[in-house]
């Protein structure tokens, strides 16, 4: 149990660090934006990687890595709590159109990326 918890914690630290670095990189590349592109990016990429890992783990017998990868690394990397906060920030600023777009793009692309990850990984590991 302690070993698994340690793996989740390590993965979470790495994932959260990668999320922060993604935000820094996007800020440097694009400058400040009112639309939360960094959060969308990590949610879509994290969802894609989750799809790939689910198939790879099942096909290659790597399910023992799930606590580290899925709960820790990808759980720390993706940001649906931050997604919720950004949505409320847009709503409180009175920008309902941006809020609606943000919700649709975040959810649509994240679910689509996970499906794409599953499809691609199933093709690779079949």
The binding site for Na(+) comprises 75, 78
Query: Binding site, residues?
Result: 75, 78
CA distance 65 to 74: 12
Return the closest-CA partner of residue 78 out of 44, 55, 112: 44
Output the CA torsion 86→7→58→119 (10° steps): 30
Structure tokens at 1: 């149990």
Q: What are phi and psi of 31, to 5 degrees?
A: 80, 180
Return the closest-CA partner of residue 112 out of 59, 56, 51: 51
């Amino acid at each position: 149990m302690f070993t698994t918890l340690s793996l989740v914690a390590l993965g979470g630290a790495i994932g959260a660090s990668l999320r922060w670095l993604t935000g820094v990189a996007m800020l440097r590349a694009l400058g400040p934006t009112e639309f939360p592109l960094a959060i969308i990016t990590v949610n879509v990429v994290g969802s894609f990687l989750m799809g790939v890992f689910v198939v790879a783990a099942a096909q290659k017998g790597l399910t023992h890595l799930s606590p580290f990868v899925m709960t820790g690394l990808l759980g720390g990397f993706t940001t649906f709590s931050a997604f919720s906060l950004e949505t409320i920030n847009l709503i409180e600023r009175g920008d309902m159109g941006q809020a609606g777009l943000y919700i649709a793009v975040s959810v649509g692309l994240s679910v689509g990326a996970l499906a794409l990850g599953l499809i691609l990984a199933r093709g690779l590991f079949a």
